Amino acid sequence: MVPQSLNHHVPQCPIILIMHTYQQPNTDGHFGQFGGSFASETLSLPLRELHLAFQKYAKSTEFLAEFHDELVHFVGRPTPIYHAKRLSHEMGGAQIYLKREDLNHTGAHKINNTIGQALLALRMGKTRVIAETGAGQHGVATATICARYNLPCIVYMGSEDMRRQQPNVQRMQILGAEVVPVESGSKTLKDALNEAMRDWVKNVDNTFYIIGTVAGPQPYPEMVRHFQSVIGQESMLQMPKFLSGGQPDYVLACVGGGSNAIGIFYPYIPYPEVRLIGVEAAGKGLDTPYHAASLQKGSVGILHGNRTYILQNDDGQIIDTHSISAGLDYPGVGPEHAHLKELGRVQYLGATDDEALQAFHRLCRTEGIIPALESSHALAYALKLAPTLRRDQSILVCLSGRGDKDLATVLSYQ
């Protein structure tokens, strides 16, 4: 159990078993007014079966032991905390630390969740896996674990994202996955999720849908948070070694659907001395139509089976989004983020395309680390925040993925 104050060293304790005073969602899958399960009648039974399986195995010693064994021996966890000393010195303020999710097998945080869901699929007797992907990292992680567990894998991906993220398309195909291009709508993440849902409706008996973010109908927001919270739990154990037994003053993460952010935020939620900041894609500016800032510029509605903040017009139709980052251009956000915004526990801000690019290049050239463009949004805000703080204060940034996949996009902006 974590101590009442984070100013003391957090004891070594089993990951996923940290006790929490913040109890969300409720038994109906709602985070305050958000969340729930707004799904077709065809999906009601499989969602209930999935929820029951998750509740059973989330408490299973045998399941958790296998899950953590995979995280250690297949993924390479725990990922390290890195003190970006040169970058911190150049900014002239707070010390910047990076939680290195980019060092996971497959290059991002997504593998944490896909392993957990794939282990559930095996226990539920499912023989086919589907997934959606935007930037491709969730697709790669799903294809990877399906190859490991000998499960056929179909990944839906918007054709525009396939164009932007060709290296990840190739990785999925080499791993044996079938990548299905989606040509409808904006040809990006929301459209891929739509097609995956349609597939699931048609094949509920044998198919397990591995959703990659903390959106979707219950139990997905809770389940994905459960598997991704390893990020924050490791951070709580690691940061005291850098901070004389304390915890960071700020924790920052990028927010699209929001899985890496919930993953690092969740264990810190009960401790107000640690300020939490989620950074959305401000695109070409929040005062333009070209952004993906659902929490800052959206309104409450229902998308992909849950109530949350979404970008919609006056008629309730989803509007197109924009971000230089394929992983952040979702027109909604996980319902727990919507709830945390309303509680005031997490502050949600934005970083523009240009700011993310500048942060990308700065980290490359000061620390020798190539970050994903998604992660670069969080880093961009850290670079704004650091000079306003004292040198003895600290910022922890979730570096959610590596940027190999984004090199063509970055070079096209030169």
Backbone φ and ψ for 366, nearest 5 degrees, come out as -105, -30
- Choosing from 132, 234, 280, 374, the catalytic residue is 132
- Choosing from 101, 341, 400, 405, the catalytic residue is 400
- Choosing from 99, 110, 187, 190, the catalytic residue is 110
Q: Is 132 one of the annotated active-site residues of the chain?
A: yes
Residues classed as catalytic: 110, 132, 400
